[in-house]
Structure 1
Amino acid sequence: MNVFKELYQNRKLIWKLSKNDFRNKFAGAYFGIVWAFIQPMVTVAVYFVVFQLGLRVQPAATGYPYICWLVSGIIPWFFFSDALPSASNCLLEYSYLVKKVVFKISVLPIVKVISSLFVHLFFIVFAILIFALMGKLPPVQIIQIGYYTFAVICLVVVLSYLTCSITPFFRDFGQIINVILNVGMWATPILWDTTTIPNIPNWLNSLLKLNPLYYIVQGYRDSFMNGLWFFEHPWHTLYFWAFVLMAGLISSKVFKRLRVHFSDVL
């Protein structure tokens, strides 16, 4: 509760730092913040060429083109994979602020998450435009995309408080996070669909669904294509928020315990 109170009291500072952080990511580059949008778009194009045109991968019968299926599942991953490493290193990047006694360092992970959120909101609009160009407008359930966006923000925030607390003491932890994200990309059904894998064991299918990002990715596809409301998956919804709650309690406890030592190791 103290963390929430600090965030609310410093909301104007968070907004200002987030905008500055977003601009500073590409400061000095000729095209500036355009690169924030070009790289994910190129990644989508590469995956489309390899999996659709090359390997002829077809998702479960949804009535939507493959590009729609791909984009609707990959945009939450882009946000998560960009926000988590960035927020994990926030104390190192803003070490000059951490050393100031009067500065509320609890706002720094939020600053990084909001900075990544700007690009994410663009890609939600970009995805809707792709659906429109393909003549497949999303169903009315698209309005719940705000709920799933909020859900992925909560997930990355609670995890980032834990990871940013560990990184100053163990600098290699940032590289470990990158490795985990590389594995997580393929452990999450973004480029593949569990329904198209023949003879997948039930225990493996259940294990894959324990990944909280499974809930997010599937939720985005439910909003863009499948026309399902989030409350139609009550057990997955309950599990996801229970995971976020437990991760938040652990992260806040670790952050509170270690924050007094941050300035000593930076």
Structure 2
Amino acid sequence: MKFLFSDIAVLARMRALLVVLTKRELSARFAGSIGGIVWAWIQPALTIASYFVVFDLVFAMRLGEQAPSERVGTFLIVGMIGWMAFSEMTQRGMSSLVDVGGLLQKNPLPPVLFPARSVLASAVVFFPLFLLVTVAYWPMHHGALAISAMLPLLALQTVTAWLLGYLLAILMAALRDVAQLVAFVFSVGVFAAPILFPLTMFPERWRWVLWLNPITPYVLGYQNVLLKGQWPPASIWLAIGITIAVIAVILNIVIGRSRDQLVDWL
């Protein structure tokens, strides 16, 4: 793991520069816009509101007894906000190196800075929405202390998105077709996780397929905290640890094999 640890050390050493780059990334995304970052919140906020209004108020749809929540809209909001954040962070990270290819060819900056910058900028956009949803759901469980699990879940999801985004960024630098493939995977990935349906509704013998989706343990974790008021069980934390470890090992190999050619690919 020496290549990945070396990049992590670079991020720690150049954290001040990373903060500056993240601020500039946010400024660039909303340059020339009067609303600024507010526009980034409008779409997911309207999506959340529409789920509640359509499924809970208009149709009054209900899930089965084994579901973590009886109301459909309330259930969908929890999974979708996690999915939207993960998708945004990962795909922004994936395109980060190609977007700054000209800069890296002229300046000897560490490439690891740019996936981290893009993921952190997206995290800054989505974390207030997570806070809003958390505050809205907390009274459902009389202020259960399990709500504190949201912090490590969000932090670990950001780490996972950075690792995966960095890996995909290197692969995309080598082969641009990766972007098309990943876009397709993310378009169907929402159906391969317990986001639109409870885990108990999926055939038991095929549930292992859902665990191949890196967002699955996070969605289940959010459902435990926000819908049940419970601390996520050990199995969820174990799945998160395994997911991070597998991606990290693959990323370390890819970094080592691409280090000398990466800038040329860009």
TM-score interval w.r.t. the shorter chain?
0.7 to 0.9
1:228 partner SS = coil
CA contact (8 A) 1:138 1:225 kept: no
Per-residue displacement from partner, 1:102-128 (whole Å, max 9, x unpaired)? Answer: 311111111111001112210122103
* Counterpart amino acid of residue 40 in structure 1: P
Aligned mates of 1:248, 1:61 — CA distance in 2: 33
Alpha-carbon distance, 1:21 to partner: 0.6
Match of 1:223 in 2: 225
Per-residue deviation at 1:236? 3.6
Once the two structures are superposed, residues 1-47 of structure 1 have per-residue CA deviations (whole angstroms, 9 ceiling, x without a partner) of 21111010110111111111112112122322111000111222344
Distance 1:145 1:235 in 2: 16
Pick from 135, 141, 150 the counterpart of residue 145 of structure 1: 150
Q: CA deviation at 1:131?
A: 2.7
Aligned to 2:111: 105
What does the per-residue CA deviation read over 1:230-266, in whole Å, with 9 as the maximum and x for residues that have no partner?
3x3x334223312211211111221232132232232
Distance 1:209 1:122, change over 3 A: same
Distance 1:137 1:125 in 2: 17
* 1:95 to 2:95 alignment: no
Equivalent positions of 1:52-201 (< 5 A) are 52=56, 53-54=58-59, 56-58=61-63, 60=66, 62=68, 65-131=71-137, 137-195=142-200, 197=201, 200-201=202-203
In 2 relative to 1, CA 127–239 (structure 1 residues): closer, same or farther, beyond 3 Å?
A: closer
Is the 8 Å Cα contact of residues 88 and 160 (structure 1) preserved in structure 2? yes
1:213 alignment partner in structure 2: 215
Matched residues, number: 260
1:138 to 1:259, Cα distance in 2 relative to 1, 3 A? farther
| Counterpart residue number, 1:25 | 29
3-state secondary structure, aligned to 2:195: coil
Listed as ranges, the gaps of 5+ residues in structure 2 are: none
Q: Distance in 1 between matches of 2:239 and 2:79?
A: 20
Using the alignment, how far apart are the partners of 1:169 and 1:256 within structure 2?
A: 14
- Root-mean-square deviation (CA, aligned residues, Å) is 2.3
Distance 1:117 1:247 in 2: 19
Q: Which moved more, 1:53-62 or 1:217-226?
A: 53-62
Once residues 33 and 220 of structure 1 are traced to their aligned partners in structure 2, the CA distance between those partners, rounded to angstroms, is: 25
Call closer, same or farther: CA 1:72–1:172 in 2, change over 3 Å.
Answer: same
CA drift of 1:205 comes to: 2.2
Match of 2:43 in 1: 39
Quote the sequence identity (%): 26
